[in-house]
Structure 1
């Protein structure tokens, strides 16, 4: 591999896709294990499989990265640590991709020999954090958010220390939410995106004023020819392609296209050839999103279909039984069709058994809960063209000749921190956007905004808790640093940071009297992560609100830091940086299941809220008994026209967080 160029980093969710990535000339491939992967719906790999794959990749000077990028729960440390230990001995991947500081601590305890790459789920959106992450946490690479413009990417590159590299998504599915700031799937039933179990409720149809539409379903990110501007940013060491749930056809064509754009993209012929390859990849309609700051695109376009694949037919009018379609393109044996969308009752996948010529006849037998409506879209989502199948068979033969190493055992036992022994008195903290008039029960807290101190009586500054937002973007970092500086120099003593890396803004402002807590958006769920925060100077932590009862209680017993939790209030389904033009703030939006959502802007961020609050107040005594001392009430007013029939939620308290 020519090290002057950025790596083309391809996804592989199964063995065929891994071989397709090699065949297309990927410089690196990222994969997942059967556990602790943020794409648990992909097939993923065993350690034996990965060991063979690593040896095959080494023959081609291709690097192998393993994603262990899930939220680590209190009881996960033993299993996760032993898995990293065995991974290190058996596979020795070039890097682990992680989001949880507890996973990083385990990798260091094990003596992992590869690099540590901080996932986009960790949401490192501030240039100031990069030096801090290298110096304080020893990260080797940071994967940037998908929402950044080229100017913001360059600002991160300018702040990047020499021994830290950056990685950037250039193609693939876009989440509506900022990565690491989505709780939608978890809030509606315990299947957490941070645990790799997202059921994609944002892809559903929501009704606005009686009109249905996919109001939060994004097109795919397609930077295609725009990536040439990244060649002037050497700190971006990898162009990443999303798609560990995709098949080998997609992986081969997209990887081939971006390799061509990197190596020969300056010529018109190369650009045209690359675009032809991308058109064959069966992606969703594409967008460059915020990449061009002067020409931003809203990735949610209600006029587009946002199903992946190429539209090849529609269900004809007729009876409820088997129906015939006439495809607009040739279909090949082994091609995979999708009838409708995943949230429709007639959704099904259909494998094509033989070649069907364009405008030929192919009979489809409905297998869903209901027969599809006439006019339902049918998409070609994966295919097996003979040339690619032949290439993969050659590589399969080579792979089969590589011997797997023997089984490796692990006796690793993690060193857990000692639990905190000195507990503070239990207290209520009420968080407001603007302070109300009159007496406040408990301790008052406010969400900080730039320029906010002009509205606050200076005598109140030392008495308030000051909350920072869950995302601070590069183009607003300077004004946030000024705002934090004003709070601290005006006597502010208690800050809540909603990303651990926001501590980088306080390095020159820290005072012995300053109390700094990690907020709930830090997604803290295990004692090792809390120990890392303690080492970094945090005074306490408000734990992840996603945790189920047993997890939350166990964390209280194990924590090396004083703990808090979100007890009441409107917790967001997600935080985004975009909003469909047809969606207005504070108006009710209804899912097919009758779930109410609504949105509100706070600065550059769009917060999507449910119509019903969290309420765990009935369990406060139980939480106090295991050491929780700060109980947070989020006072986000419900819009006057939003009314939900649902009662308050206990989030995942009574569930198992998958």
Structure 2
């Protein structure tokens, strides 16, 4: 099965490609259902497509909002520009937009969005007769429904289904609550997600006295769908005839994309799902379930907010090379192994001596201890010098030894830091904080010494967190 990953921006696209996506789906600044995502300017899409194609990854572009007359007027130029950029498919939910795409860009495949609510073979056959090469199943379909759809549709019509991510509590996203409460239409890509707000009940005769909304297992729980997680059921999806599994999340950061795509890639490549399942607990999520696939929808009856078991602390933006042959010789001669420096863009606080976990493409996570932490004093959002480097690459290329200052903690977001990994880091100078680490700490971190941590990897810190909604509930 194809692994289709979200790309809300270039960082997310790079993460999806690095961690094993076969295809990505993204949106331009117009016509997509995730207007709050970073998305791509039209002039950025050719480079994004070129990067993806260079790595053998296809690019699908969403055009699946509820179309108004003014929207239709702008579609011909939009589709032609995307065609010229080399995109592989359009994901379309409106019949009029679908027709326009076929007229002006016949080269590009047309996929029918889940917004069209294709839930039966008759509808799928009609779309196929109009030129669709793929339908994205309505999220309300069971595996049995999908299997029947596969049996009753032409074999050249591909079937795509969601495998992971947030579930909308309305039918395939057709929700009016955001429009009604905030004036921002979920069907135009501006959903404010009021279904995830915390609500209280007020009795008419007792104004100002609020009660939590609670129900038992005999009742229906309002607006609290579990997040979808089909990692343990990939074979069932394949057996039902699914050609492509889709990960939801164009509003998510690169760390989320890397974590989830990496887990599904490893499972698709043959690792037992139970081995990689914990990876999906590392990122922010609601309680997990299997949606409608096994007929009875699961509800988050004890839902009290998002939770995650790790915190993203740094992006690996560069690493010094290791030389295995020379390392063996140095070990024979009694010298430490060549060190590997990791150059990190700080995202959240971490400190000297902290135990972190690696997130590396196609590899299980490993542990390391932060040692010999240094901060680059010439780069960062607070550096306003006229000659300050503008990019990470420029900052690293211009850095001198005196620009790196010892640091007890990395606490400047979007600043550059450096740590030392590998056997040589055990031989830190007496003046460094890493020299004070205990023998047991060094033993733990040396588990990760034999393997490289390349650019594009991430570091995370294991710390359980729950969202503010839990705190609100505690105050009721």
TM range, normalised to the smaller chain? 0.5 to 0.7
Contact 1:333/1:355 (8 A) holds in 2 = no
**Bigger helix fraction:** 2
Deviations 1:311-363 (A, max 9, x none): 6xxxxxxxxxxxxxxxxx6773579xxxxxxxxxxxxxx963444848xxxxx
Deviations 1:426-447 (A, max 9, x none): xxxxxxxxxxxxxxxxxxxxxx
SS in 2 for 1:155: helix
1:257 aligns with 2:258: no
Deviation at 1:181, TM superposition (A): 2.5
Length, aligned pairs only: 323
> Which of 229, 252, 268 pairs up with 1:222?
229
Q: TM-score, normalised by structure 1?
A: 0.46
> Which of 41, 47, 52 pairs up with 2:42?
47
SS in 2 for 1:392: coil
Deviation at 1:187, TM superposition (A): 2.4
1:58 aligns with 2:53: yes
> Which of 12, 16, 29 pairs up with 1:21?
16
2:305 corresponding residue in structure 1:
306
Deviation at 1:60, TM superposition (A): 2.1
Deviation at 1:219, TM superposition (A): 2.0
Contact 2:225/2:299 (8 A) holds in 1 = yes
1:146 corresponding residue in structure 2:
139
CA–CA separation in structure 1 for the residues paired with 2:308 and 2:274:
19
Q: TM-score, normalised by structure 2?
A: 0.62
Cα distance change of structure 1 residues 257 and 352 upon mapping to structure 2, 3 Å threshold = closer
1:623 corresponding residue in structure 2:
none
Cα distance change of structure 1 residues 284 and 388 upon mapping to structure 2, 3 Å threshold = farther
Where does the alignment leave 5 or more consecutive residues of structure 2 unmatched? 204-210, 215-220, 317-345, 356-415, 420-450, 459-476
CA–CA separation in structure 1 for the residues paired with 2:312 and 2:105:
50
1:78 corresponding residue in structure 2:
73
Deviations 1:537-574 (A, max 9, x none): xxxxxxxxxxxxxxxxxxxxxxxxxxxxxxxxxxxxxx
> Which of 290, 293, 311 pairs up with 1:291?
293
Cα distance change of structure 1 residues 271 and 52 upon mapping to structure 2, 3 Å threshold = same
CA RMSD in angstroms comes to 3.0
Contact 1:216/1:300 (8 A) holds in 2 = no
Contact 2:311/2:348 (8 A) holds in 1 = no
2:329 corresponding residue in structure 1:
none
1:240 aligns with 2:246: yes
Contact 1:205/1:215 (8 A) holds in 2 = no
Deviation at 1:243, TM superposition (A): 0.4
Deviations 1:591-629 (A, max 9, x none): xxxxxxxxxxxxxxxxxxxxxxxxxxxxxxxxxxxxxxx
CA–CA separation in structure 2 for the residues paired with 1:333 and 1:111:
41
1:196 aligns with 2:189: yes
Deviation at 1:283, TM superposition (A): 2.6
Contact 1:220/1:285 (8 A) holds in 2 = yes
1:96 aligns with 2:90: yes
CA–CA separation in structure 2 for the residues paired with 1:140 and 1:93:
15
Cα distance change of structure 1 residues 95 and 334 upon mapping to structure 2, 3 Å threshold = closer
CA–CA separation in structure 1 for the residues paired with 2:312 and 2:66:
41
CA–CA separation in structure 2 for the residues paired with 1:96 and 1:331:
32
Cα distance change of structure 1 residues 100 and 354 upon mapping to structure 2, 3 Å threshold = same
Contact 2:286/2:303 (8 A) holds in 1 = no
Deviation at 1:288, TM superposition (A): 0.9
CA–CA separation in structure 1 for the residues paired with 2:182 and 2:308:
32
Deviations 1:92-141 (A, max 9, x none): 21100011112112212313421111110111112221212211x21111
Deviations 1:491-533 (A, max 9, x none): xxxxxxxxxxxxxxxxxxxxxxxxxxxxxxxxxxxxxxxxxxx
CA–CA separation in structure 1 for the residues paired with 2:2 and 2:38:
24
How do 1:5-20 and structure 2 match up within 5 A? 6-20=1-15
Deviation at 1:180, TM superposition (A): 4.2
CA–CA separation in structure 1 for the residues paired with 2:108 and 2:59:
10
> Which of 113, 125, 150 pairs up with 1:119?
113
2:455 corresponding residue in structure 1:
391
2:213 corresponding residue in structure 1:
212
Deviation at 1:388, TM superposition (A): 11
Deviation at 1:67, TM superposition (A): 0.6
SS in 2 for 1:169: strand
1:276 aligns with 2:340: no
Cα distance change of structure 1 residues 111 and 291 upon mapping to structure 2, 3 Å threshold = closer
Contact 2:144/2:240 (8 A) holds in 1 = no
1:187 aligns with 2:176: no
Where does the alignment leave 5 or more consecutive residues of structure 1 unmatched? 1-5, 312-328, 336-349, 359-383, 395-658
How do 1:190-589 and structure 2 match up within 5 A? 190-208=183-201, 210-212=211-213, 215-234=222-241, 236-265=242-271, 270-293=272-295, 296-301=296-301, 303-307=302-306, 309-310=307-308, 332-333=313-314, 352-355=348-351, 357=354, 390-392=454-456
Runs of 4+ with deviation above 6 angstroms: 384-389
1:177 corresponding residue in structure 2:
170
Contact 1:173/1:219 (8 A) holds in 2 = yes
